[in-house]
Amino acid sequence: MNPDRSEAIARLTGPGQDYEIVPGEVWGRPCRYFKNAPATLGDLYESARSDATFLVYEDERLSFEETHNTVSRIAQLLISRYGISKGDRVAISMRNFPEWVMAFNAVTSIGAIAVAMNSLWQTEEMEFGIKDSGAKVLFADQERLDRLARIRKQPDMEVIAIRPQTVLPEGTHDLTDMLSDTPPCEMPRVDLAPGDPATIFYTSGSTGHPKGAVSCHRNIISALLSWELDAQIGLLLQGKSAMPEPKHQVATLLAVPLFHATGALAVMLASYRIQRKLVSVYKWDVQEAMRLMEQERITTFVAPAAMTGDLVQAASKTDRDLSSLLSVGGGGAPRAPEQVRNIAGKFENAMPSTGWGMTETNAIGTSIGGEDYVEHPGSSGRCSAVLDLRVIGENGAELAPGNRGELQIRGVSVIEGYWNHPKANDEAFSDGWLRSGDVALIDEEGYLYIVDRIKDLVIRGGENIGCAEVEAGLLEHPQILEASVYAVPDERLDEEVGATVFTKGELEETELRGFLLEHMARFKIPRYIEFSSEPLPRIASGKIDKRLIRKDFVSSLG
């Protein structure tokens, strides 16, 4: 008889087991963590050194060992040429080039803090992120270099160019040129501890600018091992002791941005311990994705529902061999139950999986996959063994299973807080519990269902967009007096950005869109813009009645 989930967890995490869990603390908060986990990201990278293929991009192929050798030289450059020391921030802003992975590896190996900047940010947003994080060095590709050049007063930092295509401005140096002058070397030795900060990932909240979520090495590595443990639990529940030996190297397709926790952790960092090949694409193209899946024998693919939906539709019309694909993972936005069933039914060997997590939890929280997911397609799964979930009512008391309330989470993967935002930290945490901003219920069996959100966000294809940030951008236009931004349902992306604005005169939509392009990333610009010649309706407290505005607009779409 197969064990149930609690028995499987107990068997796998008990004394002497590979995934033994012990009590401890992180950021001064009590937690449970993996006793046998690598202490730091540097230890993780070191343990993965081998001749197996790691990074694949177009016609470039690097082994884990070749990657390590280049990373060691980058790390030496950062220390000797740029004076980077423990705790300094180093920003990364580029497409998913191999250099993204290597820069992140180098920065976190020497005790500096990797600042994962959203590569979709425009000039003003980049300037904010650089100043907010206090980055001393920025790794940037040509697109980001062009945006940076528009800043009238250059920020007080050094810039390292990645794959530049034009003459570089004074003070900016090509990484390839610098590496050609840097002899092979060992990775510099730095005294690191599991609790040392390692990353800042920016996350859009319900108010103002994005906030930098600060994670330490233990936060991140605990997330990686949590996914591994979940996979082992799944095998036990199926009556299996191990995965069948693959006929070829396991491989994953990197099509989600590395500046998000899903891309950086679930796809990139999770590849180290299992010696997984990481195949990167320049941008999402479903036909190119299927070509690479066939050519590189891709076994896993993780992406938001919009992209996995594209794959399901295209896979039913192609003659490409996708039989190597074993798992189609999701996250960032819910999947329609029909897509869950289609993944299970339309691929020869692949099964669906998903989970719920946040940037603030290093992308873990709950998980679900395989037949369990097919049977519970509306659920985000059950809680990680190293975390705790609860649902809180309006009076602050924990609710019994089946009741809707605010979802809160605590445990080893939860961030310290937000960089330079003590007020936001006070609002986000309650007695060690992190407020998720989601309305949820947990049923009697422990399955989580996200049913609504408290935070004023639009989640477009897995990308969180703060409504207040877009409203602030709209109000920068001199013709706009009031603005309300809200989510509009969308079949492919789940949600699109809608806006209703009250103007003091005639304003052409094309003019407004051109204005917004100068102030914010394209994905934040409302797809739908409704102009009003009257002040926007308000509730009794005087706030704009966003619910009514949204309801009326969505109804008008039919």
Residues 6+ apart with CB under 8 A from 526: 470, 485, 496, 497, 498, 499
**By the 8 A CB rule, do 345 and 316 touch?**
no
- DSSP for 242-299, written as a single string: SPPPPSS--EEEE-S-TTSHIIIIIIIIHHHHTT-EEEE-SS--HHHHHHHHHHHT--
**Can you give the pLDDT at residue 158?**
94
Residues 6+ apart with CB under 8 A from 496: 458, 460, 487, 488, 489, 490, 526, 527, 528
> Identity (one letter) of the amino acid at 531?
F
The count of other CB atoms within 10 Å of the CB of residue 77 is 21
Query: Using the 8-state DSSP alphabet, how is residue 537 labeled?
Result: P
Distances (CA, A) of 242 to 232, 272, 426, 440: 8, 19, 44, 34
d(CA 336, CA 304): 12
d(CA 437, CA 454): 5
Residues 6+ apart with CB under 8 A from 284: 255, 307, 310
- What is the β-pairing status of strands 113-116 and 197-203? parallel
Domains (ranges, CATH) in the chain? 64-212 (3.40.50.980), 457-556 (3.30.300.30)
| Tokens 């270099």, located at residue | 145
Q: How many CA atoms lie within 13 A of 464 on its CB side?
A: 28
Question: For the whole prediction, is pTM greater than 0.85?
Answer: yes
Q: In 3D, which of 236, 178, 338 has the Cα closest to residue 1? A: 236
CA 418 to chain centre: 16
Q: Take residue 269 and report the two structure tokens written for it.
A: 């960092």
Burial, 370: exposed, middle or buried (Cβ in 10 Å; 0-12, 13-18, 19+)? middle
Element (H or E) spanning 424, and its range?
helix 422-428
- Region of residue 437 (left: phi > 0; alpha: psi -120 to 50; beta: else): left
Q: In 3D, which of 116, 102, 91 has the Cα closest to residue 187? A: 102
**By the 8 A CB rule, do 349 and 325 touch?**
yes
Query: Using the 8-state DSSP alphabet, how is residue 447 labeled?
Result: -
Q: Take residue 454 and report the two structure tokens written for it.
A: 């408290």
Alpha helix positions (H), 337-396: 337-346, 370-375
pLDDT truncated to tens, each residue of the chain (558 aa)?
Answer: 567 899 999 999 999 999 999 999 999 999 999 999 999 999 999 999 999 999 999 999 999 999 999 999 999 999 999 999 999 999 999 999 999 999 999 999 999 999 999 999 999 999 999 999 999 999 999 999 999 988 756 667 899 999 999 999 888 999 999 999 999 999 999 999 999 999 999 987 655 688 999 999 999 999 999 999 999 999 898 887 677 777 899 999 999 999 999 999 999 999 999 999 999 999 999 999 999 999 999 999 999 888 898 999 999 899 999 999 999 998 766 777 888 888 888 888 999 999 999 999 999 999 999 999 999 998 999 999 999 999 999 899 999 999 999 999 999 999 999 999 999 999 999 999 999 999 999 999 999 998 888 888 898 988 889 888 888 888 888 888 888 999 999 989 989 999 999 888 889 999 999 999 988 999 999 999 999 988 888 877 667 888 899 999 998 987
The count of other CB atoms within 10 Å of the CB of residue 158 is 18
3-state SS of 30-62? EEEEECCCCCCHHHHHHHCCCCCEEEEECCEEE
**Can you give the pLDDT at residue 208?**
66
**Backbone φ, ψ for residue 399 (5° rounding):** -95, 150
d(CA 428, CA 421): 11
Alpha helix positions (H), 3-136: 5-13, 41-47, 64-80, 98-109, 123-133
Residues 6+ apart with CB under 8 A from 336: 305
